[in-house]
């Protein structure tokens, strides 16, 4: 049995410089005999015309050079810059909101690259886009990768994008190196990860993971211009009947593994000079919408004792969120008031309404829920003390944390070792589509450093070298998983 | 000399039911002899065909009836409702911002009524509109009245409007009653009183009062869509060269008196069941713009110790404003944060910028300035503690309070007494155009009750009866001042 497997294996990897790297581990694992591995290496050297050692990983993110196993860093950077041009805010910032014209242009751009790579393209009802490289055993669960290209207002051009364009570059590398996947490889562009338009994070992956609750709530969901979700989707070319949302649901074994490449969005890798983060868990995110209503009135005429100021209630609550988070007893607890809006929003008018949106996360779900409960109590107390109505305290999402799968972690560790890249096991405090893919597939994430940990702002930056390292680790990890 | 004055006086007031009322005071004052007053009353009774006592003021806001000295309450209400239809927000709210299309339509509507009344109309460079009823001695300083029709977002339909449409109804009453002014009577529609578009309150009256500082700063003033003041004015038909702003300035003796009718915008008159407020002083308003800048960043990835959150700095400052105001030692001190905006304004993004606009008032200028200084110290302290930059602490305006003039107060008191309407001397905590007219003319204000003191919101309401009372007091006060 071992001999025919080796033959198939060698055929799959004929000309695949990747084999040499993989032979350092997977090939041996597949054929089970070291001497066969040596034989396979000699074959490849004759076939490839260069010594095996060249593929120990040049570590230098070499963007060209003789071996086909290189990252076209210039090409990748050009694509990132071109994609960044589809934005509703001026350079260097990027604003690309779900189903906006710029989002539609970005989707067309991504599908163009998938076409060039010869991937078979599929789009589901809400606009998740799938580019598949059929494997030799296409019936098996595929190995998927991917991320998102929507961007919150005034953000940067790397968040999510590195995991889509970088994944397509990883496929290009594997194709260029002659690699032939056993399990199909699929790159997913999730329809939207940012909550900007409808207040729902990871809308695409949440549906793929089978969220009945989201399939229900989307029927009444409108954005802040009162445009319904379905009208917005229709405007972007995704006309659907509400019942079609269930077609977006995936089955548990659709994927053998899902691995996402992403910038760290934090300062640790850069600070510690480490090139790769192997993510072991994703923190549990939660978001809350709160609204207060008071009497409002004229800023001059209404004396202080007669006031019930919805704006001051919101200010108090923002500081209460900070207090409860700092008192959680763990540095892993974070809380943010990213949105605070006053109505009518005139300098000489006491705010009659305030709208607050709160983001609370922790790697410990119970601790995170405890903070949410305290924030709720504070909101009730503040409304009583200030004589304002707590007209809404709505938990938009309260997701559990997600653990990366051991098999995917080992594939990522293997790839980093093979490429001689120092790596660090770490937690992702930011949520990602991986958080929901973990519900239907073994999941893992690869982090690369980003400048000062900046993200969600124009200064967000990842170097070509760091991106090249991430792409190579992703390519090898996917290749390895594909052959399992 | 006394006889010819009486003749002129009787001629001016021939058929003027108003004379009867005025004779109770002004006529006697003008001719100097009580028996002449009695003679004039008999003449009027023969001329008017009804007993003098009818004009003691029916108190009931009679909106019709045999005497020409009535308020057409239905007509006035219809005009108020028609004017309210020029709005950029749905009924019952009104949004009518300076130089917007709706503002232009409202201006046309007001000029239409001025035309119907036969007033001679003038508009200055920035769109203050003047409707003049020429007096018999037009060379004398005129008696002016008026207010504004611009409206902050989502406000009501009475603020300012009662002082323009009500003033035009007062003119109509006097004309209907055969009154003939000695000093001309002029109704002014001030181009904008609300600071909504350019952050400048009482823009029209401030310029009329000769503000060199405003004439300078308008050259660099833009709105939050980056439209310059001059482009905005041009779009509304007021094309001007910056130097023409000085043509808006009025001279100290242009007006003999200015008296403004306005809803109280506070709860006192309604609570005490009093029909008329005679304003003795207007509180000193000040507005401040504050901006903080921090590092922003990803709401999940940046741990709490590494944050400098511009949004929390703004929240702290809002509560500091309240604290300093409450600690001023006087109930007359009021402070409001009407605008608090976070950037980029995404739930999962730590605010990197915050913009706060603060409104502080008091009838005691020193006490008000003391609060402003403390707010400034708090802003500095907060920025240090939170490691954010205090990128702006700009005092937009810091105006002194204004005292009403004794002669105008007595004319208003006289009118209220003649009409048998209980009145109360009171302070206006809200600023009005009168605050600036006081710099170039003896000034006074007439308040009428409004429902629960509500203002600057759709629920703002003044009853037809209360408006009729206000119009009558205004008419009599203007008539009396016009004959001085």
Residue by residue, DSSP assigns B451-472 as GGG--SSTT----HHHHHHHHH
The 10 Å CB-count burial string (b at 16+, else e) for B138-162 is eebbbbbbbbbbbbbbbbbbbbbbb
pLDDT of B386 > 60? The answer is: yes
Query: Does residue A294 contact residue A350 with C-beta atoms inside 8 Å?
Result: yes
pLDDT in tens, A399-436: 999 999 999 999 999 999 999 999 999 999 888 999 99
Residues with Cβ within 8 Å of B235's Cβ and at least 6 positions away in sequence, in order, are B99
Rounded CA-CA distance A20/B315 in Å is: 59
Please provide the DSSP assignment of A258-281 as one string.
EEEEEE-SSSHHHHHT-SEEEEEE
How confident is the model at residue A11, as a pLDDT? 38
Query: Does residue A368 contact residue A286 with C-beta atoms inside 8 Å?
Result: yes
Give me the residues of A, 300-359, that contact B with CB < 8 A.
Answer: 300-306, 309, 311-312, 314-316, 318-319, 322, 325-326, 331-352, 357-359
How confident is the model at residue A4, as a pLDDT? 43
pLDDT in tens, B71-129: 999 999 999 999 999 999 999 999 999 999 999 999 999 999 999 999 999 999 999 99
Which CATH number applies to B285-398? 3.30.70.360
Classified as helix, coil or strand, B391 is: strand
Pick from B267, B288, B299, B455 the residue to mutate for testing the A interface (most A CBs within 10 Å).
B299
Q: Between A301, A311, A335, which is nearest B455 by CB? A: A301
How confident is the model at residue B457, as a pLDDT? 86
Q: Do the chains contact at B348 and A339, CB–CB below 8 Å?
A: no
Q: Do the chains contact at B300 and A358, CB–CB below 8 Å?
A: no
Beta partners for residue B340, in sequence order: B356
Rounded CA-CA distance B109/B82 in Å is: 9
**pLDDT classification of A21: cutoffs 50, 70, 90:** low
pLDDT in tens, B232-252: 999 999 999 999 999 999 999
H helices of B256-349, where? Answer: 268-272, 310-326
> Would the ipTM clear 0.85, i.e. be above it?
no
pLDDT of A62 > 80? The answer is: no
Within chain B, all domains assigned CATH 3.30.70.360 are found at 285-398
- Work out the percent of chain B whose per-residue pLDDT is above 90: 81
pLDDT of B18 > 90? The answer is: no
Across the range A312-323, mean pLDDT stands at: 98
Query: Does residue A412 contact residue A278 with C-beta atoms inside 8 Å?
Result: yes
Helix axes A73-84, A101-116, angle to 10 degrees: 160
**Contact B296/A at CB under 8 A:** yes
Residue A260: both structure tokens together:
């996402």
Would the pTM count as exceeding 0.95? no
**pLDDT classification of A131: cutoffs 50, 70, 90:** very high
Across the range A310-324, mean pLDDT stands at: 98
How confident is the model at residue B448, as a pLDDT? 98
Q: How far is CA B12 from the centre of its chain?
A: 30
Query: Does residue A155 contact residue A112 with C-beta atoms inside 8 Å?
Result: no
Ligand-binding site membership of A194 (annotated):
yes
**pLDDT classification of B405: cutoffs 50, 70, 90:** very high
Within chain A, all domains assigned CATH 3.30.70.360 are found at 286-398
Rounded CA-CA distance B422/B409 in Å is: 15
How confident is the model at residue B41, as a pLDDT? 40
Q: Do the chains contact at B456 and A345, CB–CB below 8 Å?
A: no
Query: Does residue B17 contact residue B69 with C-beta atoms inside 8 Å?
Result: yes
Residue B80: both structure tokens together:
């108020």
CATH homologous superfamily of B73-283+403-482: Zn peptidases (3.40.630.10)
Query: Does residue A160 contact residue A117 with C-beta atoms inside 8 Å?
Result: no
Rounded to the nearest integer, the mean pLDDT of chain B is 88
Residue A146: both structure tokens together:
């991917």
Q: How far is CA B299 from CA A286, A357, A399, B384, in A?
A: 11, 12, 16, 22
Within chain A, all domains assigned CATH 3.40.630.10 are found at 73-283+403-482
**pLDDT classification of A60: cutoffs 50, 70, 90:** very low
pLDDT of A39 > 80? The answer is: no
Q: Do the chains contact at B338 and A319, CB–CB below 8 Å?
A: no
Length, in residues, of chain A: 484
pLDDT in tens, A238-266: 999 999 999 999 999 899 999 999 999 98
Classified as helix, coil or strand, B403 is: strand
Rounded CA-CA distance A36/A59 in Å is: 27
Rounded CA-CA distance B34/B21 in Å is: 14
- Work out the percent of chain B whose per-residue pLDDT is above 70: 86
Residue B298: both structure tokens together:
């990803």
Half-sphere exposure of B307 (CA within 13 A, CB side): 28
Give me the residues of B, 184-203, that contact A with CB < 8 A.
Answer: 194-196, 199, 201
**Contact B429/A at CB under 8 A:** yes
CATH of A286-398 given 1.25.40.10, 3.30.70.360, 3.30.300.130, 3.40.50.300: 3.30.70.360
Pick from A88, A196, A297 the residue to mutate for testing the B interface (most B CBs within 10 Å).
A297
Residue A242: both structure tokens together:
């509400």
Spell out which residues of chain A touch residue B315, defining contact as CB-CB under 8 Å. Answer: 314-316, 318-319, 337, 340
Q: Do the chains contact at B318 and A312, CB–CB below 8 Å?
A: yes
Spell out which residues of chain A touch residue B264, defining contact as CB-CB under 8 Å. Answer: 301
How confident is the model at residue B20, as a pLDDT? 53
Q: In this predicted structure, which of A59-63, A157-161, B229-233 has the lowest mean pLDDT?
A: A59-63
Enter the DSSP assignment of A246.
G
Q: In this predicted structure, which of A350-354, B8-12, B141-145 has the lowest mean pLDDT?
A: B8-12
Place of tokens 């990890």: A477
pLDDT in tens, B168-190: 999 999 999 999 999 999 999 99
How confident is the model at residue B308, as a pLDDT? 97
Q: How far is CA B158 from CA A481, B150, B188, B274, B281, in A?
A: 72, 11, 16, 19, 21
Residues with Cβ within 8 Å of B69's Cβ and at least 6 positions away in sequence, in order, are B17, B18, B21, B55, B173, B176, B177, B472
Residue A141: both structure tokens together:
């669960």
How confident is the model at residue B69, as a pLDDT? 76
Q: What are phi and psi of A256, to 5 degrees?
A: -80, -35
Place of tokens 């603020």: B159
Half-sphere exposure of A130 (CA within 13 A, CB side): 22
Rounded CA-CA distance B346/B277 in Å is: 47
Size of interface A-B (CB pairs under 8 A): 264
Half-sphere exposure of A450 (CA within 13 A, CB side): 28
- The dihedral over CA atoms of A98, A99, A105, A107, expressed in degrees to the nearest 10, equals 70
Q: Do the chains contact at B318 and A305, CB–CB below 8 Å?
A: no
Rounded CA-CA distance A354/B315 in Å is: 12
Give me the residues of B, 102-141, that contact A with CB < 8 A.
Answer: none
Query: Does residue B4 contact residue B170 with C-beta atoms inside 8 Å?
Result: no
How confident is the model at residue A297, as a pLDDT? 86
Spell out which residues of chain B touch residue A301, defining contact as CB-CB under 8 Å. Answer: 264-266, 428-430, 453, 455
């Amino acid at each position: 049995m071992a001999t025919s497997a080796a033959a198939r294996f060698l055929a799959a990897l004929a000309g695949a410089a990747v084999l040499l790297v993989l032979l350092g581990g997977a090939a041996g694992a597949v054929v089970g005999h070291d001497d066969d591995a040596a034989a396979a290496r000699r074959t490849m050297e004759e076939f490839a015309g260069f010594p095996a050692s060249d593929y120990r990983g040049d570590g230098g993110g070499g963007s060209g050079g003789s071996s086909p196993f290189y990252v076209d860093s210039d090409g990748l950077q050009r694509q990132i810059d071109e994609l960044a041009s589809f934005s509703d805010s001026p350079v260097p910032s990027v604003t690309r909101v779900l189903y906006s014209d710029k989002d539609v242009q970005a989707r067309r751009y991504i599908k163009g690259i998938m076409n060039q790579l010869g991937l078979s393209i599929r789009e589901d009802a809400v606009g998740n886009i799938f580019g598949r490289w059929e494997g030799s055993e296409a019936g098996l669960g595929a190995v998927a990768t991917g991320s998102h290209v929507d961007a919150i207002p005034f953000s940067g051009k790397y968040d999510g994008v590195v995991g889509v364009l970088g994944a397509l570059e990883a496929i290009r590398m594997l194709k260029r190196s002659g690699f032939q996947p056993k399990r199909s490889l699929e790159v997913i562009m999730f329809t939207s990860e940012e909550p900007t338009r409808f207040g729902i994070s990871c809308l695409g992956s949440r549906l793929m993971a089978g969220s009945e609750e989201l399939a229900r709530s989307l029927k009444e969901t409108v954005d802040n211009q009162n445009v319904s979700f379905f009208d917005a989707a229709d405007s972007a070319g995704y006309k659907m009947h509400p019942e079609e949302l269930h077609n977006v649901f995936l089955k548990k074994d659709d994927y053998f593994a899902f691995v996402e490449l992403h910038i760290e969005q934090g300062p640790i890798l850069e600070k510690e000079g480490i090139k790769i983060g192997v993510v072991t868990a994703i923190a549990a995110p939660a978001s809350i919408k709160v609204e207060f209503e008071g009497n409002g009135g004229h800023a001059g005429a209404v004396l202080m004792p007669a006031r019930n100021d919805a704006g001051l209630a919101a200010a108090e609550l923002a500081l209460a969120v900070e207090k409860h988070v700092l008192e959680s007893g763990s540095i892993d607890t974070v809380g943010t008031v990213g949105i605070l809006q006053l109505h009518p929003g005139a300098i000489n008018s006491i705010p009659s309404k305030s709208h607050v949106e709160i983001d609370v996360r922790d790697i410990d779900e119970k601790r995170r829920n405890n903070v949410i409960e305290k924030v709720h109590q504070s909101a009730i107390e503040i409304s009583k003390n200030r004589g304002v109505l707590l007209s809404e305290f709505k938990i938009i999402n309260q997701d559990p944390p997600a653990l990366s799968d051991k098999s995917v972690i080992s594939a990522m560790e293997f790839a980093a070792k093979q490429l001689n890249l120092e790596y660090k096991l770490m937690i992702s405090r930011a949520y990602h589509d991986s958080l929901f893919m973990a519900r239907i597939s073994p999941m893992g994430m690869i982090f690369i450093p980003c400048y000062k940990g900046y993200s969600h702002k124009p200064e967000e930056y990842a170097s070509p070298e760091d991106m090249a390292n991430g792409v190579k680790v992703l390519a090898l990890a996917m290749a390895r998983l594909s052959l399992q």
